[in-house]
Amino acid sequence: MANHPEDPTQPATGNPPLDLSADVVTLTAALCDIESVSLDEQRVCDAIEVALAPLDHLTVTRIGNTLVARTELGRSERVVLAGHIDTVPLTKAPANLPTRREGDDLVGRGTVDMKGGVAVQLKAALVTEPSRDLTFVFYEGEEIDSEHNGLLHVQQQRPDLIEDADFAVLLEPTASQVEGGCKGTLRVDVTARGVAAHSARPWNGRNAIHGAADLLNRLTAYEPATVTVDGLDYHEALNATGIRGGIAGNVIPDECVVTVNYRYAPDKTPEVALAHVAELFEGYDLVELDNAAGARPGLHLPAAKAFVEALDLPVIAKEGWTDVARFSAMDIAAVNFGPGDPNLAHHDDERCPVSQLVSAEAALLRWLA
């Protein structure tokens, strides 16, 4: 458990107070300027906790550096609004903190991924009589290994705080479009075997790197499918993302390992995805490294329909993997929606158009009205 300020109405030493009444652009800048690289989220978590404390319509629970704030208004429907409060590391040249305005953009680490979305969450937290009961999750450790993920910690330690939801919105950057569900991701090591020998007498061995040519040819010839799920088109992908082999410059290698990443549509289970890849590489040794299921968008469900209709924005498939999959594993339909171009996430020149921050806030408040 992180340390707390002695006076819960004041931020910890060095934490600038967050003014939730400020406009969403100013609030985004204030959040970004509290540095919170993964595993160093305490200060920003403290600041958010202090800002939420005066809101009588919310009950706030803290787990490590993750906050869950809930309304208990007796509404017929409950929705989760979730966003991570950590960022990837800062750069020195050019410095991407503190934030600055450049024309119509807010520039700085976290403006896209994803403190703009967190600022929108905080503005929504001010709504005292929302049309639905709300559960806000501000969580740590999304940008690093899963074991540090605060949303996972809530699921493990206090699932009761989120499992009663009918729908979830993850405010990851989507350029203020709605991105439904997400694809699954599987990584495997595929190994071509050979026989080691001196490179001066290669006929005494069998070169595993040469033998991997057939493996790579199978990948090159593979035609990924486009799969329609709940009306959205997910483009599958199968690619080599790494290759290693050889132990010395004068030794014929007896092993060549190709790492393959399969991004699969959310109509498939992890087991089906693994079986598909194993069939493609029949005859080779295959080791599963990790396998994270995707998430169906559930756009046919009433809560999802109402969200899409209220926002009146384009809806496309989420082509990557996000934490919406964690909600899907709990049988909670989820979508991605937030300000910022995901193509600029983690860039040294990370920047978000002010107009997207404003429009994302307006769209979300319109839905909650």
Q: Is the pLDDT of residue 31 over 90?
A: yes
Mean of all residue pLDDT scores within the chain: 92
Residue 5 is assigned to a structural domain of this protein: no
Residue 351 is assigned to a structural domain of this protein: yes
* pLDDT tier, 303 (very low <50, low <70, confident <90, very high otherwise): confident
Residue 228 is assigned to a structural domain of this protein: yes
Residue 9 is assigned to a structural domain of this protein: no
Residue 156 to residue 138: CA distance in whole angstroms: 16
Which residue is catalytic, options 41, 86, 133, 236?
Answer: 86
Residue 283 is assigned to a structural domain of this protein: yes
For range 54-63, the mean pLDDT: 98
CATH number of the domain that residue 264 is part of:
3.30.70.360
Q: Which two tokens stand for residue 317?
A: 């498939």
Q: How many domains does the chain have?
A: 2
CATH number of the domain that residue 52 is part of:
3.40.630.10
Q: 344 and 223: one domain?
A: no
* Stronger pLDDT, 173 or 302, i.e. the higher one: 173
- Residue 94: cis peptide before it, omega within 30 degrees of 0: yes
* pLDDT tier, 73 (very low <50, low <70, confident <90, very high otherwise): very high
Residue 43 near residue 85 (C-beta atoms within 8 A)? no
Q: 177 and 204: one domain?
A: no
pLDDT the model gives residue 369 = 84
Q: Is the pLDDT of residue 56 over 60?
A: yes
pLDDT the model gives residue 9 = 40
β-sheet bridge partners, residue 353: 105
Q: Is the pLDDT of residue 298 over 90?
A: no
Look at residues 237, 271, 292 and tell me which one is the last residue of a structural domain: 292
Residue 51 to residue 63: CA distance in whole angstroms: 17
Residue 231 near residue 267 (C-beta atoms within 8 A)? no
Look at residues 236, 260, 292 and tell me which one is the last residue of a structural domain: 292
* pLDDT tier, 351 (very low <50, low <70, confident <90, very high otherwise): very high
Task: Kindly provide the residue ranges of all beta strands, DSSP E only, lying in the chain, ordered along the sequence.
Answer: 59-63, 66-70, 78-84, 100-102, 105-107, 133-139, 167-170, 178-180, 184-193, 197-198, 226-229, 232-235, 237-245, 251-252, 255-264, 285-292, 315-317, 333-337, 351-353
Which residue is catalytic, options 49, 133, 140, 142?
Answer: 142
Respond yes or no: is residue 113 known to be catalytic. Answer: no
Domain containing residue 190: 184-292
Q: 40 and 73: one domain?
A: yes
Q: 288 and 300: one domain?
A: no
> Does the model's pTM come out above 0.85?
no
Residue 130 is assigned to a structural domain of this protein: yes
Amino acid at 323: D
Q: 161 and 210: one domain?
A: no
* pLDDT tier, 8 (very low <50, low <70, confident <90, very high otherwise): very low
Q: Please spell the DSSP secondary structure of 277-322, one letter per residue.
A: HHHHTTTSEEEEEEEE--B---TTSHHHHHHHHHHT--EEE--S--
Q: 164 and 311: one domain?
A: yes
Q: 159 and 307: one domain?
A: yes
Q: 163 and 205: one domain?
A: no
Q: 177 and 320: one domain?
A: yes
Q: 320 and 268: one domain?
A: no
Look at residues 292, 317, 349 and tell me which one is the last residue of a structural domain: 292
Q: 165 and 231: one domain?
A: no
pLDDT the model gives residue 15 = 52
Residue 159 to residue 273: CA distance in whole angstroms: 28
* pLDDT tier, 14 (very low <50, low <70, confident <90, very high otherwise): low
Residue 318 to residue 322: CA distance in whole angstroms: 8
Q: Is the pLDDT of residue 7 over 80?
A: no
Q: Is the pLDDT of residue 331 over 90?
A: no
Residue 16 is assigned to a structural domain of this protein: no
Q: Is the pLDDT of residue 3 over 60?
A: no
Q: 57 and 200: one domain?
A: no
Residue among 190, 181, 329, 186 at smallest CA distance from 270: 186
Residue 10 is assigned to a structural domain of this protein: no
pLDDT tens, position by position, 131-182: 999 999 999 999 998 899 999 999 999 999 999 999 999 999 999 889 999 9
| 8-state DSSP, 342 | G
For range 212-217, the mean pLDDT: 96
pLDDT the model gives residue 328 = 86
Respond yes or no: is residue 19 known to be catalytic. Answer: no
